[in-house]
């Protein structure tokens, strides 16, 4: 369910973090549900376990998950997770909007595009 691409300029561990975040936010992984183990995910995605480890470590530091030594990693409460995640997304959103507005695009054009996107949501 997590997509890793070498053509993506982002480092692998970030792609892993992003994939797990999406799963937790969209409900694919509920609160307090166990995440796949490092080894499991590593072999499943054909990625070095160290890379997965780093993703988990950072996710924990950012509060998205908590790990119980000897048991594994678990999704944190969704409320906090979601609000933190969407806050991050809004940073990118604001940046993109401001650049487009500065480039002369109208607010109506952007709003129309959003509606269009919400309908034909297919790729990516």
Partner DNA sequence: GTGGTCTAGACCACC
Partner DNA sequence: GTGGTCTAGACCACT
Q: Rule CB under 8 A: which residues touch a copy of itself?
A: 6-7, 11, 22, 25-26, 61, 66, 68-69, 82, 85-86, 89-90, 92-105, 107, 110-111, 113-115, 117-118, 121, 124
- Looking at residues 22 to 61 of the shown chain, list those that interact with DNA (rule: CB under 7 A): 35, 37-40, 47-51, 53-54, 56-57, 60
Rounded to whole angstroms, the Cα distance separating 20 from 7 reads 19
User: 109 CB contacts (<8 Å, ≥6 apart)?
Assistant: none
Rounded to whole angstroms, the Cα distance separating 67 from 52 reads 14
Give, in degrees to the nearest 5, the angle at Cα 8 between 1 and 63: 60
Residues 20 and 67 sit within 8 Å (Cβ to Cβ) = no
Question: Which segment (23-31, 66-74, 79-87, 96-104) binds DNA by CB under 7 A?
Answer: 66-74
**Is the CB of 39 or the CB of 99 nearer to DNA?**
39
DSSP output for 12-25? HHHHHHHHHHHHHH
Size of the chain, expressed as the number of residues it contains: 124
H/E stretch holding 65 reads strand 65-68
**Is the CB of 22 or the CB of 57 nearer to DNA?**
57
Name the binder of 39 from DNA, a copy of itself, none, CB < 5-8 A by kind: DNA
**Is the CB of 32 or the CB of 40 nearer to a copy of itself?**
32
Q: Which residues bind DNA (CB under 7 A)?
A: 11-14, 35, 37-40, 47-51, 53-54, 56-57, 60, 67, 69-73
């Amino acid at each position: 369910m997590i997509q890793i691409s070498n053509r993506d300029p982002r480092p692998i561990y970030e792609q892993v973090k992003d994939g797990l975040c999406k799963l937790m936010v969209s409900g694919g992984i509920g609160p307090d549900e166990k995440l796949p183990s490092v080894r499991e995910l590593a072999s499943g995605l054909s990625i070095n376990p160290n890379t997965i480890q780093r993703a988990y470590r950072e996710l924990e530091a950012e509060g998205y998950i908590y790990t119980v030594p000897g048991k594994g990693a678990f999704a944190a409460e969704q409320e906090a997770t979601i609000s933190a995640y969407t806050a991050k997304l809004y940073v990118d959103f604001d940046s993109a909007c401001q650049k487009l507005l500065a480039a002369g695009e109208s607010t109506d054009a952007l709003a129309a595009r959003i509606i269009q996107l919400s309908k034909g949501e297919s790729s990516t």
